[in-house]
Amino acid sequence: MTAYLDHAATTPMRPEAVEAMLPFLRDRFGNPSGAHALARDARLAVDEARDIVADGLGCRPAEVIFTGSGTEADNLAIFGVQRRAGGTAVCSAIEHHAVLHPVEHLGGRTVAVDGRGLVDLDALATALNESVTIVSVMLANNEVGTIQSLAAIRGVVAERAPKAVLHTDAVQAMPWIDVAEAASQTELISVSAHKIGGPKGVGALVARAGVELEPLLLGGGQEHERRSGTHDVAGIAAFAEAVRLTVQERATTVERVAALRDRLVDGLLAAIPGTVESGDRRCKIAGNAHVCIAGVESEALLFLLERDGVLASAASSCASGAQDPSHVLAAMGIGRDLARGSLRLSLGPPTVEADVDLALAVIPSAVEHLRAHG
Ligand code: PLP
């Protein structure tokens, strides 16, 4: 048996989303930018998908820009605004690299978080001034799961940087939080299909009416000149189906998965001395279980867990697979020694009791083995 506990890295596709793709990989292959019947059919599919995604994100259909990933949505938000408006970009210190690196590239500023991973509102106020044109704070963190209060952040931004637009990376929040409500006071929202049971390589940026964006991709002028490139019609149709089901099932999934997560983390804390839960469970998404285990190295632990059927990760997944010290844990004040033993177990809608049982059977003995044998 395998327990897949890496849903923050990616999710298995929902069967309905796979079904939604297939017609567009077969007969309905038209290019939605064209004029004939097949093209019009594809355009209709993209428009229908746009309506569903807009509904799930609480915006108007015209405000949805389909992109090739969550990363592209984040880059479009940061570079798109800054290249049009100039000024300074500001983000939290625990953003995904898809936000952090663009902000750093532009010479922007990062804002400290507390031990729970919550943005320090005083530090935010200090980082802001009239020259700031974009502020980016993720709705839920990909490593430790901390949920930010975007309403409180909006308040500080409105007071200290009135010209700034507020962007939120809601890629990890979407399975667990009503993004339409939680991000209602932001101008820009990024999401990604493969974190909610959709395909990889599809995402969206919500850019509310009036937000000026310089496109990253120039060409055929698709997406109202904001993102050129022929639409991935199959991927977009599947993305919409994943959004529809995620929103429909969210409340029951959150309740069920939060109980599984609590059993998992409480079980690990009880069974493994020297284990510390990262952050504060009261302000985390339901699918996140993150602990730091003293006296073990994540990489060695993950190797043993995989051997015994538990697939997890240490920090966020990055292209190289290399485990750099996590900037998120460092920003939360977790020391390097403890951070070396970080373990992220991320649950998803398909997670069941048996996955938790296996993890609780396997992880304590793997830790014991590593502590005994180095
Ligand atoms: N933002 C967050 C918070 C993420 O967790 C990820 C993926 O791990 C991304 C952005 C990037 O999304 P994508 O994989 O679609 O490029």
pLDDT at 104 over 60: yes
pLDDT of residue 325: 80
pLDDT of residue 321: 53
DSSP bridge pairs for 313: 344
pLDDT of residue 323: 57
Q: HEC profile for the chain?
A: CCEECECCCCCCCCHHHHHHHHHHHCCCCCCCCCCCHHHHHHHHHHHHHHHHHHHHHCCCHHHEEEECCHHHHHHHHHHHHHHHHCCEEEEECCCCHHHHHHHHHCCCEEECECCCCCECHHHHHHHCCCCEEEEECCCECCCCCEECCHHHHHHHHHHHCCCCEEEEECCCCCCCCCHHHHCCCCCEEEEEHHHCCCCCCCEEEEECCCCCCCCCCCCCCCCCCCCCCCCCHHHHHHHHHHHHHHHHHHHHHHHHHHHHHHHHHHHHHHHCCCEEECCCHHHECCCEEEEEECCCCHHHHHHHHHHCCEECECCCCCCCCCCCCCHHHHHCCCCHHHHCCEEEEECCCCCCHHHHHHHHHHHHHHHHHHHHHC
Residues 243-284: tens digit of each pLDDT: 999 999 999 999 999 999 999 999 999 999 999 999 999 999
Query: Tokens standing for 338?
Result: 């403890």
Ligand 1 atom nearest 202 alpha carbon: 15
pLDDT of residue 319: 47
pLDDT of residue 315: 74
The rounded Å distance from CA 172 to ligand 1 centre is 7
Which residue among 66, 72, 96 is best mutated to probe the pocket of ligand 1, counting the most ligand atoms within 8 A of its Cβ?
96
Mean pLDDT, the chain, whole residue set: 96
CB-CB contact of 153 with 135 (8 Å): yes
Does ligand 1 come within 6 angstroms of the Cβ of 167?
Answer: no
Cβ burial 338-359 (10 Å sphere, 16+ → b, else e): bbbbbbbbbbbbebeeebbebb
Ligand 1 atom nearest 74 alpha carbon: 10
Residues 179-209: tens digit of each pLDDT: 999 999 999 999 999 999 999 999 999 999 9
pLDDT at 237 over 90: yes
Query: Measured between alpha carbons, how far is 233 from 190 in angstroms, rounded to an integer?
Result: 19
Pairing, β 342-346 against β 288-293: antiparallel
Does ligand 1 come within 6 angstroms of the Cβ of 168?
Answer: no
Residues 142-174: tens digit of each pLDDT: 999 999 999 999 999 999 999 999 999 999 999
Which residue among 66, 188, 192 is best mutated to probe the pocket of ligand 1, counting the most ligand atoms within 8 A of its Cβ?
192
In the residue annotation, 318 being an active-site residue is answered as: yes
In the chain, the percentage of residues whose pLDDT exceeds 90 is: 97
pLDDT at 125 over 60: yes
Does ligand 1 come within 6 angstroms of the Cβ of 172?
Answer: yes
Task: Compute CA distances 235 → 57, 65, 241, whole Å.
Answer: 18, 14, 10
Residues 289-338: tens digit of each pLDDT: 999 999 999 999 999 999 999 999 997 554 445 557 899 999 999 999 99
pLDDT band at residue 133 using 50, 70 and 90 as cut-offs: very high
